[in-house]
Amino acid sequence: MKQPKIAIIGGSGLYEMEGLKVLEERSVETPYGDPSDDFVIGELEGVTVAFLARHAKGHRLLPSELNFRANI
């Protein structure tokens, strides 16, 4: 699998990103703890991208619950 060239941290409006062909979901460990959710890795117009739902799938996290350092 190619390394993503672009990473997107987005909100619920991007869960179903038009034109994104999902290839896999990947969990990531960081020194700061767990990110909000698994990263969705896919292709968008031939470019490999990684997408992270900032508030987790289903908008499960409040802004005060986000682990911003792990997300970055």
Q: What is the DSSP string of 8-29?
A: EEE-GGGTT-TTEEEEEEE---
Q: Which pLDDT does position 2 carry in this prediction?
A: 78
Q: Name every residue whose Cβ is closer than 8 Å to that of residue 14 and which is 6 or more positions away in sequence.
A: 8, 51, 53
pTM (2 decimals)?
0.83
Q: Mean pLDDT in runs of 10 for the chain (72 residues)?
A: 88 76 92 95 93 88 92 92
Q: Which pLDDT does position 5 carry in this prediction?
A: 93
Give the residue among 18, 16, 20 at the shortest CA–CA distance from 4: 20
For 41, other C-beta atoms within 10 Å of its C-beta total 20
Q: Which pLDDT does position 58 carry in this prediction?
A: 81
Domain boundaries, the chain: 6-71
